[in-house]
């Protein structure tokens, strides 16, 4: 397997323990317009569904695909979503050998609905999908957040929120407090025309992403060359597409190489990897890293100080990623690399995880690889410290369910914090010490990532994030 890590790692031999993480599983609802990259993302989503409580899988439309659209704009027949669940059903029993938390195909069929698909941005019809979303949001028996993902247009979500405003206006603040939106662009006008003015001021968290595009159709133009190795035919055909069961056999590729999964970052964001990215969109994780632009709305960090976020709908017509797609000068490419770094820095781990999950479709437990378990000892995830103070960090009790050797690295995630001095060095020991810089100022935050990878094939990685707050 390829290894993009440029550091030398220390190998830690640990006792084999069969314990799994205790993080609460995120509740997720997916809306999708069924484009080819949505269908590819759905393969990965279903293979990751053990990490979530899947509350809804809903057909929707977009400015690109709608019922009645012609040619490329035609909506893929909505039955595709049920068909993919059926393919998942063919490997479900084998997946259960690896984690009993995979939801049954019957359950997934029960939360699969058809939403607003008749036109671009149509959000007037009370469809089954919109009613379902409203019902989940209004269910007061579970106060946990709901991660609503718009892989296509936002119109079915918009209709659901209209239902709540029309029928239960007194509960809008309650619903907004538990709702977390992740939009893959705004692929219709419904966010701007309804949601922004009626809901944004209530403080619901909204991510409007553009950097996702490095996992879409332009990946071979914008990803660094060493990262592209994980998307080329040798990797994809060998590790995903071929001889991995019915679901992976239907994974959409392009000449055996990666085609596109532009929607995947929406659920990568919610996977409980230990990076704590759902605590704050500015923390950064597999789904990207974002900056607050207004209310509780988050968007991509501008490529340079010369760029400002668009005030209206963000989509293909004003996308920064599309603007950068064909840049070739070294200075421009450096800007583009930095723009997409918040996602591509993780993609070796992301792709290795996909490969392992593909193995779970056909291999027994003993033959496949499984995630290491990161355990920090006497190391709080939130630490208050003064400038010059030394902090002990200890991951020595981390373990691996397959008894694989572990590679442990502590590294400084510079972009996620507010300290702006000299970068802190990495450490490759299970137990290490970090010194708070003498020039750190009161209020600065310093993010330290504990990254634990195993020696299995493919190598799998999990993390823990320690945030140091200077006082």
**Does residue 398 register a pLDDT over 60?**
yes
User: Of the candidates 239, 268, 300, which is a domain's last residue?
Assistant: 300
Give the range of the structural domain holding residue 441, as residue numbers without chain letter.
1-19+373-471
Q: Is residue 19 pLDDT above 60, yes or no? A: no
Per-residue pLDDT tens over the stretch 186-208: 999 999 999 999 999 999 999 99
| Cis ω for the linkage preceding 458 (within 30 of 0) | yes
DSSP annotation string for 26-88: PEEEEEE---HHHHHHHHHHHHTGGGSEEEEEEE---SS-BTT--GGGBPPPTTHHHHHHHHH
**Which pLDDT band holds residue 18 (cuts at 50, 70, 90)?**
very low
Kindly tell me if the per-residue pLDDT of 21 is higher than 60: no
pLDDT category at 3 given cuts 50, 70, 90 is very low
Domain boundary among 271, 300, 329: 300
Residue 387 included in any domain? yes
User: pLDDT, tens digit, for every residue of 157-170?
Assistant: 999 999 999 999 99
Our count of domains for the chain comes to 2
Residue 122 and residue 16: Cα distance in Å, rounded? 54
Same domain, 249 and 385: no
Distance between alpha carbon 81 and the CA centroid of its chain, in Å? 20
CA distances from 312 to 192, 261, 317, 318, 392 (A): 7, 25, 11, 10, 47
Q: Where are the alpha helices (DSSP H) in 153-192?
A: 155-167, 172-178, 190
Residue 340 belongs to some domain of the structure: no
My answer on whether 28 and 12 are in the same domain is no
Does 110 have pLDDT greater than 60?
Answer: yes
The answer to the question of residue 173 being in a domain is yes
Phi, psi dihedrals of residue 336, rounded to the nearest 5°: -65, -45
Percent of the chain with pLDDT over 70: 95
Residue 448 lies in a domain: yes
316 and 212 Cβ atoms separated by less than 8 Å: no
- CA 69/CA 294 separation, integer angstroms: 34
| 103 & 225 share domain | yes
Structural domain includes residue 464? yes
* Residues 170 and 245 occupy one common structural domain: yes
Residues 49, 107 within the same domain: yes
Range 443-452 average pLDDT: 98
Q: Are residues 102 and 197 in the same domain?
A: yes
Cβ(122)–Cβ(61) below 8 Å: yes
Average pLDDT over the chain, rounded to an integer: 95
Q: Looking at the structure, do residues 98 and 221 belong to the same domain, yes or no?
A: yes
Which tens digit of pLDDT belongs to each residue from 123-142? 999 999 999 999 999 999 99
Alpha carbons within 13 angstroms on the beta-carbon side of residue 42 total 33
pLDDT for 23: 53
Boundary residue ending a domain (249, 272, 300):
300
- On whether both 178 and 248 belong to a single domain, the answer is yes
Answer whether residue 316 is part of any domain: no
Asked whether residue 127 falls in the same domain as residue 161, the answer is yes
- Supply the pLDDT for residue 42: 98
* Burial track 29-60 (b if 16+ CB lie within 10 A, e otherwise): bbbbbbbbbbbbbbbbbbbbbbbbbbbbbbbb
End-to-end CA distance of the chain: 44
pLDDT for 20: 36
Residues 6, 34: one domain?
A: no
- Looking at 231-325, list the stretches that DSSP marks H as alpha helix, in order from N- to C-terminal side: 233-236, 245-249, 264-268, 320-324
CA gap 176, 388 in Å, rounded = 42
**Of the candidate ranges 22-26, 64-68, 311-315, 401-405, the one whose mean pLDDT is the lowest:** 22-26
Contact 262, 217 (CB under 8 A): yes
Instruction: Name residues whose C-beta falls within 8 Å of residue 173's C-beta, 6 or more positions apart in sequence.
Output: 202
Span 337-343, mean pLDDT?
Answer: 98
CATH no. for residue 392? 2.60.40.10
pLDDT at 22 over 50: no
What per-residue confidence (pLDDT) applies to 443?
97
Would the pLDDT of 7 be above 60?
no
pLDDT category of residue 24 using cuts at 50, 70 and 90: confident
Q: Looking at the domain assignment, is residue 354 inside a domain?
A: no
φ, ψ of residue 143 to 5 degrees: the values are: -85, 0
Q: Is residue 307 part of a domain?
A: no
Q: Over the Cα atoms of the chain, what is R_g?
A: 22
* Residues 6 or more apart whose Cβ sits within 8 Å of residue 175: 137, 138, 161, 164, 204
- My answer on whether 211 and 64 are in the same domain is yes
Mean pLDDT value of segment 434-462: 98
Residue 15 has pLDDT above 80, yes or no: no
> Domain of 103: which CATH number?
3.90.245.10
Shared domain check, 400 and 289: no
């Amino acid at each position: 397997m390829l290894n993009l890590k440029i550091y030398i790692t220390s190998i830690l031999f640990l006792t084999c323990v069969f314990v799994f993480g205790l993080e609460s599983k995120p509740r997720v609802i997916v809306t999708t317009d069924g484009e080819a990259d949505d269908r590819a993302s759905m393969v990965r989503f279903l293979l990751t569904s053990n990490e979530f409580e899947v509350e809804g899988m809903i057909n929707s439309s977009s400015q690109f695909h709608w019922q009645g659209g012609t040619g490329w704009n035609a909506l893929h027949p909505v039955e595709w979503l049920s068909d993919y669940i059926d393919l998942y059903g063919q490997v479900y029993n084998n997946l259960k050998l690896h984690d009993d938390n995979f939801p049954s195909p019957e359950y997934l069929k029960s939360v699969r609905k058809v939403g607003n698909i008749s036109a671009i941005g149509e959000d007037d019809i009370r469809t089954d999908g919109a009613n379902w979303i409203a019902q989940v949001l209004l269910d007061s028996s579970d106060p946990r957040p709901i991660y609503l993902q718009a892989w296509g247009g936002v119109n079915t979500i918009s209709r659901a929120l209209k239902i709540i405003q029309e029928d239960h206006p007194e509960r809008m603040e309650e619903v907004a407090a538990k709702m977390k939106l992740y939009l893959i662009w705004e692929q219709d006008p419904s966010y701007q025309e309804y949601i922004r003015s009626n809901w944004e001021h209530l403080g619901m968290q909204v991510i409007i992403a553009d950097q996702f595009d490095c996992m879409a159709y332009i990946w071979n133009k914008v990803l660094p060359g060493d990262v592209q190795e994980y998307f080329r035919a040798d990797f994809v055909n060998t590790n995903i597409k071929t001889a991995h069961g019915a679901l992976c056999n239907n994974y959409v590729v392009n000449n055996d190489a990666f085609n596109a999964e532009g929607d995947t970052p929406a659920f990568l964001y919610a996977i409980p990897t230990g990076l704590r990215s759902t605590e704050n969109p500015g923390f950064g994780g597999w789904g990207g890293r974002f900056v607050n632009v207004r209310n509780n709305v988050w968007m991509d960090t501008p490529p340079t100080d010369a760029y400002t976020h668009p005030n209206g709908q963000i989509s293909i017509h004003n996308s920064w990623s599309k603007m950068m797609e064909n840049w070739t000068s070294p200075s421009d490419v450096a800007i583009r690399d930095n723009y997409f770094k918040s996602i591509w820095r993780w993609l070796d781990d992301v792709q290795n995880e996909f490969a392992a999950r593909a193995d779970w479709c056909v291999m027994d437990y003993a033959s496949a690889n499984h995630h290491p378990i990161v355990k920090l000892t006497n190391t709080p995830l939130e630490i208050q410290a003064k400038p010059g103070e030394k902090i002990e960090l200890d991951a020595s009790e981390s373990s691996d369910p397959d008894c694989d050797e572990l590679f442990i690295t502590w590294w400084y995630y510079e972009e996620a914090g507010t300290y702006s001095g000299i970068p802190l060095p990495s450490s490759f020991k299970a137990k290490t010490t970090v010194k708070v810089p003498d020039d750190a100022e009161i209020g600065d935050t310093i993010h330290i990532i504990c990254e634990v990878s195993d020696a299995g094939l493919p190598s799998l990685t999990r993390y823990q994030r320690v945030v140091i707050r200077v006082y």
